[in-house]
Structure 1
Amino acid sequence: MHTDVFLHISKTGGTSLSFPLRRIYGFWKTHHIGNQDHDGVRPTSYCALSESEKERIRLIKGHVFYGLHEYCPGGSRYFTLLRNPVERVASFHRMLKKEWPTTKVAQMSLHEYLRQDHYTRNGQVRRVAGVPPEKGKCTKTTLDRAMENLQSHFAAAGLTERFDESLVLMKRRLGWSQYPYYVTSRVGKGKRSDGQKDGRGKTEMKAETRAIIEEQNALDVEFYRYVRERFEEAVEAEERFEEDVSRFKKRNRWFAPMAAVPLWLYRKSRRLLYLLRS
């Protein structure tokens, strides 16, 4: 038996996918790794499980780095979502403003936030390459490693901007028996960031701000371009793919309103428990 690993890169849509994955793989066969549950690449909470418990787990998910498969019994397959680096960094800033509104960072504009170096640059390359910040600088070698890992060990790599298509591709590549019906989490919705409106859509980001993000995340920009090309090639090679995506969208429009309130309550209660424990 193999273990699937969902490498959740922050602000790429992974939270929306979290509940569907538990439903597909089974709540008791899914192991979530939180930010405090790993020491670099080593998943401490997972490693603490007995061998029989590890064999029971069919899916590991969380903000992990590539390399976790070394601790899994049997084979393993990765899958992930990636996002345009400019949109991802802006979304991360919006999340900070909403989730931690009293912090100094939350009071900054996006432009100020970028200048203060408050985030991990080229975070998508680092995750897929398996190189956390404490392991050293992110270089062209890191990018090459990320590309190699993606080719060799990832069953699917989707795009946030093409979310529904990505989920259908994952269903096919990973052999899911059911569609991953979801409710959008929209964690950062409703808070102003540079060049954006409060919950009423986005305006064009300032060219200067966009240029700063692209410069700071040049390796992520190149990696995203590479992943997007591979994604388009994969979709083009699939038979009756557009028909499958259309079917999924129609069914999800029926599912989402019914699941929205229960999921909202679940996420709020989970957030409350997290605050109480911290």
Structure 2
Amino acid sequence: MSVSPLVFVHVPKTAGTSFRLGVDQFFGEDRVCRDYGAGSSDTSAIVNECLYERSDMWDFRLKFEQSNYQFLTGHFGASRYMPAFPVVNMITFLRDPLQRTVSEYHHLVKHAGYEGSLEQFYRSPQFINRQHNMFRGVHWAALGFVGITERYDESLDLLRDGFGLDVPRMESNTGRENWREPYRLSEDQEIEFRRLNAADIRLYNMARDQFDWRTKLRRRGDPYVSGMVTEYRDQQLMGWAYATGAQSPAYIQVSVNGKLRAEVAAKGFRQGLHAYGVPRGANIGFSVKLPSLTSKDLVECTVATTGQPLANSPWRLPKQVPGKA
């Protein structure tokens, strides 16, 4: 499957610079548009003109096509370019949150004159849950591809198979000679870091699990299904799912405490996802009536044909806080 143009949400210190250089080589630098902020020399002229000077996203999209760009990259949140590009055209890499944060700290100390301590850095609000916040307002599981930095070569293989994007492997901006050696924090530092960055850690773990399934399904020759369990409301468990490149709905099996309760087609319309530009005109939702579900119940939603779990599965109803409805 070839999808173009592509949008790369470049999370800092996730091997994104190496990937971007590979993309430059694959497409040619003149076909890669960049948005690294209004004050950055790396930002392309049409981004400055259309977005930072005039805030006209539609005109940017038109000029993007007229300029024959094939790729857009930058340190922006995924929602920034949602009005111009469908989410299935977006790709990103995620990295172990602790390793990514410490790497960014050392990078800013070395290249941007940051003078605070590591503790001051990871306690600063703008650096807490950094990866999670770049996907605020967007279902990350709907992105066309989420790679894992620690499995960079496998990620490139999957991108080649899924998008025809044969990016050469390059290494740049590693910051240290032995970059594969993990950073280590003291026990107290790590406990504090994990408490502050619980959302980042949860996102990374879910994305890594989905990556494992993507590689497993690729080896088996089975399609990968993008999907997520989203909420439990009015006795209904809700979610969405779609198979890559398929026009027919994905079928989802829903089990509670190991017992199959239902098999449903993900074909309901989801207004909130329509703006994402997801496949099947956003007719990818499902819901299953599960009366009297409690926080003690373990719910699993898997693809009927392959056993692949959706993101957020297994799932539990959050525990009620005493005194709150």
Q: TM-score, normalised by structure 1?
A: 0.64
Given the alignment of the two structures, is residue 123 of structure 1 paired with residue 135 of structure 2, yes or no? no
Given the alignment of the two structures, is residue 7 of structure 1 paired with residue 9 of structure 2, yes or no? yes
Identity of aligned residues (%): 22
Determine if contact 1:69/1:76 at 8 Å carries over to the other structure: no
Match of 1:181 among 151, 154, 168: 168
Query: Structure 2: how far apart are the matches of 1:50 and 1:112?
Result: 40
Point out the more displaced range, 204-213 or 78-87.
204-213
Q: How far is the alpha carbon of 1:230 from its aligned partner?
A: 0.2
Please list every run of 5 or more consecutive structure 2 residues that lacks an aligned counterpart in the other structure: 222-325
Residue of structure 1 in register with 2:65 after alignment: 54
Q: How far is the alpha carbon of 1:158 from its aligned partner?
A: 0.6
Distance 1:129 1:113, change over 3 A: closer
Distance 1:187 1:118, change over 3 A: farther
Query: Structure 2: how far apart are the matches of 1:69 and 1:9?
Result: 17
**CA deviation profile, 1:157-212 (whole Å, cap 9, x unmatched):** 01111111111111112122x3x22331134327xxxxxxx979456321111112
Superposed CA RMSD:
3.1
Normalized per residue, which structure has more strand?
2
Query: Structure 1: how far apart are the matches of 2:111 and 2:32?
Result: 26
Matched position secondary structure for 1:158: strand
Tell me which stretches of 4 or more aligned residues in structure 1 moved more than 6 Å: none
Distance 1:2 1:85, change over 3 A: same
Matched position secondary structure for 2:78: coil
Query: Structure 2: how far apart are the matches of 1:122 and 1:100?
Result: 21
Match of 2:140 among 143, 146, 150: 150
Query: Structure 2: how far apart are the matches of 1:235 and 1:65?
Result: 26
Determine if contact 1:33/1:61 at 8 Å carries over to the other structure: yes
Query: Structure 1: how far apart are the matches of 2:9 and 2:24?
Result: 14
**CA deviation profile, 1:1-35 (whole Å, cap 9, x unmatched):** 84210010011110011111122233222101112
Determine if contact 2:95/2:150 at 8 Å carries over to the other structure: yes
Q: How far is the alpha carbon of 1:96 from its aligned partner?
A: 1.3
Q: TM-score, normalised by structure 2?
A: 0.56
Residue of structure 1 in register with 2:236 after alignment: none
Normalized per residue, which structure has more helix?
1
Q: Which amino acid aligns with 2:176?
A: K
Distance 1:119 1:52, change over 3 A: closer
Please list every run of 5 or more consecutive structure 1 residues that lacks an aligned counterpart in the other structure: 131-145, 191-197, 242-278
Match of 1:208 among 188, 193, 198: 188
Query: Structure 2: how far apart are the matches of 1:200 and 1:8?
Result: 20
Given the alignment of the two structures, is residue 114 of structure 1 paired with residue 104 of structure 2, yes or no? no
